[in-house]
Structure 1
Amino acid sequence: MTRPPTPATATTPAPEAPAGAAAPAHPALAAADPELARLVAAEERLQADTLRLIPSENYVSAAVLEASGTVLQNKYSEGYAGRRYYEGQQVIDQVERLATDRARALFGVDHANVQPYSGSPANLAVYLAFAQPGDTVMGMALPMGGHLTHGWGVSATGSWFRGVQYGVRRDTGLIDFDEVRDLALRERPKVIFCGGTALPRTIDFAAFAGIAREAGAVLVADIAHIAGLVAGGAHPSPVPHADVVSTTTHKTLRGPRGAMLMCREEHAKAIDKAVFPGLQGGPHNQTTAAIAVALHEAAQPAFRDYAHRVVANARALAAALLDRGFDLVSGGTDNHLVLIDLTGRDVPGKTAAKALDRAGVVVNHNTVPYDPRRPFDPSGIRIGTPSLTSRGLGTEHMAAVADWIDRGVAAARTGDEDALAVIRAEVADLMGRHPAPGVPA
């Protein structure tokens, strides 16, 4: 059934359930806290009715959702399997071992730690394992597509360590490895991060590994965005090249909001000690269980097909945007992500993103390399295909998606709210024909 368009903002109140509505999807929550239950229902409708193009978002399966809400929530489990500080861990130990065994098998690593609460704490654990405060560390600059925790100044990693950053070429939008090598040999960082949050091209892990060896640095591959593509064989794996692999477990991997650190056996003790007791107390056992489910799902043949469809959709969407005259950073994409520079469209990225949100096309404003605008009001928008691919959309739908973006950006420039409302209705119609996994109908 096609749902009517329901534009919403952060200040939109959750609507009351209509008379005669079906029983709530979360009856215990509805009985205990009707106000919060209404908000959850409103978010479910928003996720069902809108086209989610933020590349770091996805839909988890109903099985992952169920695992996240089990009685494993009730257990406190400081330590590691077989080495806990609390009794009663007979089952929890099996859950954690199941998750780590599945991570090791899926990614082909010696050691996996599934306890980090999220990607940023996971990266902090890497620093704790291999560096001392004041040491030099190296990563991609945030405005060029890197991550805050790769030594950027406003992050704790840039305050506690001396961060040096590499970028991309102005003419190509690609990493200049001659520059990376020169910087690494001059600065001699203890840790080099590769990977980021707005990189639309394949990461050359072998090139980074060669530079790290020459500079005497530990190489960390942050594959938070592309972990699902790596698991599904749609992106080269960093495992043969990197000393440590850091990743979140959501995004393209379609798991819960958690993280993992994977490494060679020689670094296992240092990594485990850094996570616990270095940074964290007890792991979130319900999240560990959901990670185990997601890793099991990612090991299935269907997930490999999914990963390749994510990339195919992104490339088709990039081509359709280029046909409409959009300027794409690096000229396209090799993975799940497309970074659009709107400078030539005479509309700021933030203005465009907010207008598209009103049209039911959910993106995020984003800096582009060498952006002349401020980070909170940048020139670009960042889009990706993991979520829409999870809903079953294929390359045949990408021209329509590009058309919505084109019309939405034009409406943002002119302030045409009627045009945005038309797009919103079209989006809701297509989404109604492609239900979102795990979201109540």
Structure 2
Amino acid sequence: MDSDTLLESKNEDVVLENDESILGLKNSLSLNDELLKYGEIVTTQTPGPDNVLMSNGYTAYCVNTIRDPPGVGAIYSVQPTSIVYHSWNNKPVSNLVKLAIVYYADNPAFHEKISIGSGQNRYSSRLQHLIWYFAGYIDSGNYDNSVYLNELYNKDRNYLYSAYFDIFNRNKNGEKIPDHYTFRYNSTHNVTYDFVAFQSSSNYQNLLGYKKFYTPLPTSYEIQKVTLTPKVLLNDKVIFELIYKNTGGIDLDNVFIVEENWDDGLEYDSFIDYGNIWIHSINNEGKHVWTLKEKLPAYTSKSLHVIFNTLKVGNFTNYISSGDKTTNNTTTVYNPGMKVTKKSLTPSVKVGEQTLFLITVENTGRIDLGNVFVEEQIPDGLTYADYHDKSLWRKDGNTFYYNNVLKVGESANFTIIFNTHI
């Protein structure tokens, strides 16, 4: 039952979209907009004993052995499955029959007809024989010790005998099948069985029938665009992280993200695909598209980085989409604001003495500054000797680099020492 392929059923399989529903009432069933009330009269469209097509679209199987199977046009009333009892000992057997249908009605081997026993219905499908074994053949009620099982072992040990004990043990271990039963069918769909009993108004066998339909599992996902560089300087690059989150319980196919558009202060530059998990393409509208190479497992996320150049100062927004979802994020581009002053600490010196200058850099802009540096132009008559505050500044040639980020409104300084000469 855990296949990725929807198997064909002998009855009518109905596929419902997410916005359709099944209405369960105390004394009625609702299926595909058809209200089926207990007590409603239906007729057989095909003869028994097995795969009996009913006028309400259900497929049914005989559950007695002391009556005849129905012919075409036999009249039945719809009842809950709780009316299904063993033919001889009057014990309830509907759960055993429903288990047999759920686990074996989709198996083609169980629709093959085989001959077991000596009665008029001995040539029936394996599934019908399996149901009769629980509902009528074994009159002692001691299901695991019967002369019928010896015959079953000798004639069909690979199918019926194995299936019999599978269903017997499931029921013994407490597995219950309600009349309206839904479970996970595969990675994309649930399957629902609606079970009813059909009570004969004459001397025909009672029937237990079902209708089956599939519903797609709901999908749920989110997309996010995170600005990794919310504030940048003009001509610097801005980096956005594009994130696709699978927030649902099933794996997702065809996961993609589209760069819809961006403000004219930005210019697309490139992207970084960590792990080589995305396929990049340009669609018919000239938009950048990234498609995930594999399925996105439930409750996981994947991301990539997209890089833009900054062309002017201001606030600029970038927009992405996936399916019917859109999102955006904004980065702010600033001109750097910086003031540099140079003050002599030794305004009067003699030739041969040292002179000192205090260099101060102040961030007067609206964004913290990294990679702050000062290039010193050494005037004539002076030669470089040393500088102070090597813990905050490093020297490379005539350029002094600040080792930290200079925050808005802060300043940093260092002192340069020169020798004087003629």
If the TM-score is normalised by the length of the shorter chain, which range does it land in? under 0.3
TM-score by length of 1: 0.22
Structure number having the greater strand percentage: 2
